[in-house]
Structure 1
Amino acid sequence: MTITDTDTVSWNPEALDAILSNDERRPVLFKNDRILTIDPLIGAMVGADILFVGPLIVGVGPGIVTAAGDDNAIAVDATSTTVVPAVMGSIAPAGGRGHRSEHVAKLAPGNTTDFLVVPDEPADDVVVATLLAHPEQVRALVSAGRPVLRAGADVPGRAAAPETGIPDAENLTGSPCVGVWIDRNDFLHQELSADGRYDETQGGRPDAYQGRYWIDSDRIGYLNDLGFWAYGEFQCDELHHAGYDMKLG
């Protein structure tokens, strides 16, 4: 299936719908575009293709279309557009990482399928501003291999972003996280109460830090009464927070 960009208001709707309904793990090919990979070895390419299967990029460069056809790929004609990483980091392009595997947000085989498709004209600026300042210029935003934004509008049925603001305190009675967590050196004692409050004792000094906390899957977020935020992570039966490894006392 090859869809040509004949309607700039609704860019490649049939192809993007096919990707959204793709339950067969068919490969997807965005072809004939300019790709800013941000990869130090691959660089930027014109008239190139990007091939992905689900959340994983499997090929980048010219000439992939033949192989994609053999694999019954969903092909999107991205002529006159530029594909850039959806998340741009300044450290890697500036040389702050020593190995290619450490370069963040690059469009290279083996990386996550997160990219923006924009018209060629504003592409040089898209790395800093287009998605936020000019979402109408975004032809598509692909996250983990699935379109979440197209023609400047949300894809119907996409997951809603979390609401802003401080969530209401939860009643955590019965939660396995409630109790006093103690680090290996017995320096930090962190009490997580069922009312969503925490109280830390450090080096025998009680009430060193106090505030609210929230549990989200294997993560815990803290809002101290002084106003700063922090987080921790549950790994098996341990709570890791700010360099401390704690177990329930």
Structure 2
Amino acid sequence: MTFTDTDTDTGTSTDAGTGTPSWNPEALEEILSNDAGRPVLFTNARIITMDPLIGTMNGADILFVGPLIVGVGPAIVTAAQDDGAIVVDCTGTTIVPAVVDTVALAGGRGRRSEHVATLTPGNTTDFLVLPDGIAADVPSAVAALVSRPDQVRALVAAGRPVRWAGTDVPGGPAAPETDIPAAPDLTGSPRLGVWIDREDFLHQELTADGRYDETRGGRPYAYQGRFWIDGDRIDYLDDLGFWAYGEFKGDELHHAGYVMKRG
């Protein structure tokens, strides 16, 4: 038998024998091994949907199948159990969107259909579960994710848990590296060489050592720096310190409004 101790301020539960965080461990195992497409229900939570029509609900449920939210509201639990759903008891927690559309929050989207990143049926299953005490609203919940990650009950991305009971879920996606990577050796890459825009204004040379050199309007060395290619994407870090972006489309390189072809 497993006993837990609970911190009443944050809702943190720990295994009395090991002191490690514990929150619905059986449900996590079921979700991770869910290859049959069973629905998953997070129940009995305060849900801040950020949807202007649905609003905030107490004692509510969120039902999803894979990466898609299919239901939000009270009393979904009965139907979900009939469908063989995996049920996660979220008593004492608040659920908020994990991706926040600040433009919508500031009134920059006039129609409900334009409000993205809300916990609305039909949207992507991206949400964050935190104890009520540290998730009064969306800003405080997001701040807690950064400042108190050990208190996160669940972080779900596209229907898959990536953080649970304060720790990263094994096998989940790794956070991107924050250090600037070394430029790879691009010798032999078909994307090296000089690229010229249609007006012959911009000449951009990409070299095998991961450096670029731009001539603009006949002005040599207008911009110089490093670049990285990832698939069809190219990222630039200028020696002046700013970042820029480009995209390869067939035999064209699109960058900052310019369309270039190999010279």
What is the TM-score when the length of structure 1 is the normalising length? 0.90
Decide which structure has the larger Cα Rg and report it: 2
Identity of aligned pairs, percent?
A: 74
CA RMSD of the aligned region, Å? Answer: 1.9
Match of 1:214 in 2: 228
Give, in whole Å, the separation in 2 of the partners of 1:52 and 1:44.
18
Match of 2:87 in 1: 75
The 3-state SS of whatever aligns with 1:131 is: helix
- The 3 A distance-change label for structure 1 pair 186 and 23 is farther
Name which of 105, 122, 126 aligns with 1:110. 122
Give, in whole Å, the separation in 2 of the partners of 1:218 and 1:23.
32
Unaligned runs of 5+ in 1: 1-5
Match of 1:158 in 2: 172
Name which of 96, 105, 113 aligns with 1:101. 113
8 Å contact 2:45–2:61 — kept in the other structure? Answer: yes
Deviation (angstroms), 1:12: 0.7
8 Å contact 1:40–1:93 — kept in the other structure? Answer: no
Give, in whole Å, the separation in 1 of the partners of 2:108 and 2:35.
39
Name which of 230, 233, 241 aligns with 2:255. 241
1:127 maps onto 2:141 in alignment: yes
Give, in whole Å, the separation in 2 of the partners of 1:234 and 1:53.
35
Give, in whole Å, the separation in 1 of the partners of 2:53 and 2:61.
16
Deviation (angstroms), 1:30: 0.8
Match of 1:184 in 2: 198
Count of residue pairs brought into register by the alignment: 244
Give, in whole Å, the separation in 1 of the partners of 2:117 and 2:30.
26
Match of 1:174 in 2: 188
- The 3 A distance-change label for structure 1 pair 92 and 207 is same
Deviates more, 1:87-96 or 1:111-120: 87-96
Q: Deviations over 1:52-78 (max 9, x none)?
A: 122221221123223323432211111
Q: Deviations over 1:202-235 (max 9, x none)?
A: 2222221111001122321111111111122233
- The 3 A distance-change label for structure 1 pair 107 and 231 is same
Deviates more, 1:232-241 or 1:30-39: 232-241
1:144 maps onto 2:170 in alignment: no
Residue 130 of structure 2 aligns with an amino acid whose one-letter code is V
8 Å contact 2:116–2:123 — kept in the other structure? Answer: no
Match of 1:89 in 2: 101
What is the TM-score when the length of structure 2 is the normalising length? 0.85
Give, in whole Å, the separation in 2 of the partners of 1:93 and 1:55.
23
1:34 maps onto 2:79 in alignment: no
- The 3 A distance-change label for structure 1 pair 154 and 128 is closer
Residue 193 of structure 2 aligns with an amino acid whose one-letter code is G
Residue 33 of structure 1 aligns with an amino acid whose one-letter code is A
Deviates more, 1:13-22 or 1:85-94: 85-94
